[in-house]
Every structure is written in structure tokens, then in C-alpha cells.
Structure 1
């Protein structure tokens, strides 16, 4: 099984202050020296940033703005057909620019005005406890780099498109923001690493790849689907199952392919009752209790 953390390219900080971003061999930018340097430059901004300071401003290039424009242009129509209404309402409310890359501080200001969530810069992968725990404080750790311009509709790793169009806009929807906050509170209660991984898997199948019934159709609310040009068109062809906390918390998944199994909430209220209730009450013993309940005659 490939884990979610493997989505990120390792960032190495050297003694002389320089930074190297190690892209996977199949990454579109792995042989592009200019792109590698750009990734290192943006990663260094996050590495030198300290909490309480203004979020670093990235002077995005024309090529990066064009990537953002292309993604927004292609995803907007797909969202109207396939995204849950809570997401569409949040998108209209935050009114992020579609003709240029928004600054992370700008996203914080617009999303924070609705739900209090703000965005801290991250050079790449953030440790599970730090990432999930910060959600309790309504803080989301976000990258600031964009995918390689040769493939604006594809990325093998989370980038600013995923963080903002996927998670950022969703966090302007009060129910989804609350689901993230409850995730953070649960993570802070956990001491057992297996329990934390169980939580992370439930988060993956809901906040990242969750689908929901609305108006007689299946729509998506998961950030991974909302930010993916290809997968958003395919999720209705997946093996869509009812919400099942034990299955979600123990399932293997492969990050390199479209998710073949998804879990459906019957409504937003159902999502908050089942998944929100799970995060609100989870402790280190919850996975064992769920297994025991399933095994009971």
C-alpha cells in the first residue's frame, strides 16, 4: 500500500541555507532545472517562516498564473455538475480570483471571515500529528508551489491548486470546516500511533475523497476529488459504499490510481452525524471498540 505521505516530494535543507526538493522519477518537472530551482525557492520561504509572522508572499510567474487560470477554467464547469451545493456556495462566498494565483494570506482572509480557518505555509509534507492537530486551532498547513506547467491539469502530489481549490474553499463551508476542526481535536486526544493512522484513513475517505447524495445524484465534497480534473469525472463509476467507519479506518488505498472504492453519506446531516460524531468522540480505544462491535454476534 502507498500512503498519503508519499504524495509529497521530500524537502532537504542544507547547512549553507540552500534547499533541495527531491521529485519522484516520474514527476513532470524532475528534469526541469528551472522548475526544481523554483520549487526550492518557494520551499525555502516556508522553511524560514515562523508562526506569528506574515505569510510569505510568492511573486508568481506568468507561467504559474496560467496554470491557475487553466485549472479554474476547466474545473468550474465540472464543479457545477458534480460538487455538493455546500462547496458551490462556499466558492461563491470566498470569490477567489480565477485569473491569477491567490496569495495564501488572501485565502486566509477570505476563508477566515466565514469559518475562522487560516492557512500557514508548508514546504511539503507536515507530520501527521502536527497537520491534524493544527486543525483544532482552525489552522491548515498549505504548500505554495504549483504543478509543472507542461501538465496543468495533472499533479502527482498536492500543490496550491489542491490545497486551495480542494481544501481551502471547502473550509469556507461551515459544516466541512467543523468536520476538520473535530478531526484536529480527535488527533490531539490520541496517543496511540495506530489510532492516529485509523483517524487519518477515515479523513482520507471523507474529507479527501468523500461523496454525498444530493438531489437524487451523487456529488463530491472531498478535496481530492474537487481539485482533480480527471478523477472528478470518474468518481460516480467507483464502487460507492455506505459510510462504514471500520472499513474506512482499516482499508488499504493506492495513491497512484483513481480511488476504486468510495464511501457515500446520504446527506450533509448524515455526514455530520456519522463522521462528525466519530471525530467528536474518538479516543485510542475507538478502533478496538469498532472491531469488537463488528465481531459480536
Structure 2
């Protein structure tokens, strides 16, 4: 996972040379650069007698844009299938302190959601889930308590889109919306879509999805023993926290630009971008009509922290990516600081300036027609994009 190499298949057998040795065959999905890094790691960290890497298997496309010096990233939207498979923590593998750890029925249910997500491929309709009575009850508690707070705590853009989700996607206390319906709705509103994911992705893989206006979304629901708490993102968090704002074109653009800035960036720069994402899209505040309002999904899906963040007890600072990226992200407690922007537009402009500091041997452009990433590394490639944009403006 650290080297971003997906293991497709593995076999082992006794060596024909010596009984104490084992021959292992591994089929990997990776770039030439990632493969070479993995080979070096294996040589230093394992007892390998001999190593026989394949030859002449790399396509010409591997090096055509001279990208071997940067971490792999998806060049077309279908390659997000590879990103979504690299789950750091599966949804069925619960920690001992998780509310559902001792509930075997819940654990089996979580395994079902993992199987659905891991089987999903780009272009397929998202499988519809028949939620249990217990799951609908848990969703209902969260829905009911949060909707009491939204009129006084959520930003205008959120409040504008929520009734539309009720009308077109079945946002109700007695119904858990289906991701396929949500994805179709978002596509029409802002160009975003969602796709199921089995659990946590690395910041690099998650941000890569945003570059394509794709949001990786869990389908499982938190354990019913404590509906107002979850140690991980669940579908209540995704649908109530993220989706209403992803339907806003300006917010969608802001989200995509963070994703685009991450493509090919170093691990250090990706971590900085992920931290800025955390304190904006997850826990961000904005000013509207002289009042603080929440636009971060982590706040809009947490009753306790939503109240806290807009209270006098919260430590609120002005959003500045250069300093915000140094703030510690807290998962199991309230944040020690929250960051406020005047508007999404202001936050986007600040992130654009911050992205200029990322050391990358190229720039990127998202082609909405082919849903692919174009590399801008010389005058000719930039001129081609400019010509396309001029053509769009003149028609």
C-alpha cells in the first residue's frame, strides 16, 4: 500500500532446488517506477535467494509523458477502479473499541457492504441496498436530530439543496437514500458523481477521485447502539454531510481543484492538501450575513460538534492554507481549531495560490469531454488547451 502497488494474484510452491526454499509468483498492477521501488524494498527487507522480474511488459504509454519521476495517478476516470480497491481499512475489520465490534450480525452486514464496493466498476449502476429496519431506525435518529439544527447552523448553499434532495432522492427520516439516485442528481447539478467504497482510502487515492468530480462514498450505517456517534465515515456522514454541498457548483469546483492539485504531488504535499481538505470540506466554517455557518461535512453530520463549532467555546481562526496545513487533525475528539472563510470563492482562490507552491514538473487539465487528465508540460500542450477553451467560448 505504501508503494501504491495493487496485488492482483499470488501463488506459492516448494522450490525445486531446495526444500527449505519457497517459490512465490506475484501478479501486480502498477507502473514501472512503482515496480522498481518495490523490488528494491524486497531486496533489502526479505530473504530472497533469487528474483526474476518480467521483462518488456511495460507499454509505451508508461513513459510517453515522462511521468516516472512522480507518483502514479489515474489519467482517465475508469482508472479510479484501481484507486478504490486500495482500501487502507476494510469496513468489516472493526477495532476493539468500535460499537459494533462484538455484534456478529453487524459485522456480517459490514462484510456485505465491503463485497458490494469491491465488486463495483466504473460505468456500472450503483447496486441498490435494501436497508434493514434497524439501519433505517438508526438513520432516522441521526436525520431527525440534525435537521433540527440545520436552519440555524448550516450555510445557505446547504439549505438551498437539502429540499431538492428530499424531492428527488428520498431524503426522509424513514428512508435511507440510494447512492445511484444521489449520483444521478449530483451529475445534473454540479457534474459530480459518487461511487461506493469499502472503507478508508489513502489521502492520495481519495483526492484523485475529487479531481474527476467523483466522491467515494460508503454505504454502511453506524452501529445502532449509539446513533449519534461513529468512529468512521458512514453513509449518514456522506449523505447528510457531503452530498448537499457537492450539489453546489462553486463548492464542487473548490473540491475538484484540491483534487487536481494532488495529482503527481509528493507525499508531503499531498498530506498538506489533505489537511487543508480536512479543515475546509470536512470541518470548514464560513461567514454569511455576519454569522458563522458550517459547510464542513464532519460538522454537518455531528450534532455535538456542530453545536460546539458555532459556540463561544470553539477556537476559530482565519483560513490560510500555509498555516492550516500544519494543524493537527483529530478523529475521536472535537477539533482544537476551526477555520473560517468569507466564501467558497475566497477559499478556492487561497487554495489556488497555495497549489502554486507544490513542486510538480507539469500542470494538469481535466478534459470534461473525455473525462481524462491532460498533462501540461510545454508550450504546445498549453496552447492546445487554450485553443479548446477559446472554441468553447466562441460557440
Identify the TM-score tier after normalising by the shorter chain.
0.7 to 0.9
User: Where does 1:235-250 land on structure 2 (aligned, <5 Å)?
Assistant: 235-236=309-310, 237-250=313-326
From 254, 267, 272, the counterpart of 2:330 = 254
Contact residue 186 and residue 282 of structure 1 kept, 8 A: no
Aligned-partner Cα distance in 1 for 2:257–2:151? 28
User: Where does 1:159-170 land on structure 2 (aligned, <5 Å)?
Assistant: 159-170=234-245
**Are 1:36 and 2:107 an aligned pair?**
yes
Distance apart, 1:276 and its partner CA: 5.2
Distance apart, 1:274 and its partner CA: 2.1
Q: Any idea what SS the aligned residue of 1:125 has? A: strand
Aligned-partner Cα distance in 2 for 1:103–1:284? 40
What's the counterpart of residue 302 of structure 2? 228
Aligned-partner Cα distance in 1 for 2:107–2:154? 34
Q: Any idea what SS the aligned residue of 2:201 has? A: coil
- Higher mean alpha-carbon deviation, 129-138 vs 142-151, is at 129-138
What's the counterpart of residue 26 of structure 1? 97
User: Where does 1:80-229 land on structure 2 (aligned, <5 Å)?
Assistant: 80-95=151-166, 96=169, 97-98=171-172, 99-190=174-265, 192-229=266-303
The higher relative CO (CA closer than 8 Å, separation ≥ 6) is in 1
Alpha-carbon distance change, 114 to 228 in structure 1, aligned in 2, over 3 angstroms = same
Give the TM-score taking structure 2 as reference length. Answer: 0.65
Q: Any idea what SS the aligned residue of 2:338 has? A: strand
Contact residue 118 and residue 139 of structure 1 kept, 8 A: yes
Q: Any idea what SS the aligned residue of 1:24 has? A: coil
Alpha-carbon distance change, 72 to 282 in structure 1, aligned in 2, over 3 angstroms = farther
What's the counterpart of residue 54 of structure 1? 125
What's the counterpart of residue 270 of structure 1? 346
Q: How many residues align?
A: 268
Structure 2 unaligned regions, length at least 5: 1-86, 361-395
Aligned-partner Cα distance in 1 for 2:322–2:285? 17
Contact residue 207 and residue 223 of structure 1 kept, 8 A: yes
Give the TM-score taking structure 1 as reference length. Answer: 0.85
Q: Any idea what SS the aligned residue of 1:149 has? A: coil
Aligned-partner Cα distance in 2 for 1:268–1:254? 23
Q: Any idea what SS the aligned residue of 2:199 has? A: coil
Aligned-partner Cα distance in 2 for 1:116–1:268? 17
Contact residue 219 and residue 234 of structure 2 kept, 8 A: yes
Give me the CA root mean square deviation: 1.8
What's the counterpart of residue 10 of structure 1? 89
Aligned-partner Cα distance in 2 for 1:282–1:48? 38
Aligned-partner Cα distance in 2 for 1:113–1:147? 29
Q: Any idea what SS the aligned residue of 2:200 has? A: coil
Contact residue 28 and residue 151 of structure 1 kept, 8 A: yes
The structure where helix makes up a greater share of residues is 1
Contact residue 278 and residue 329 of structure 2 kept, 8 A: no
Q: Which structure: larger Rg?
A: 2
Q: Which string of whole-angstrom CA distances, capped at 9 and with x for unpartnered residues, describes residues 139-195 of structure 1?
A: 1111100000111111111000111111111101112111111111111142x1101
Q: Any idea what SS the aligned residue of 1:238 has? A: coil
Contact residue 282 and residue 297 of structure 2 kept, 8 A: yes
- Higher mean alpha-carbon deviation, 29-38 vs 64-73, is at 64-73
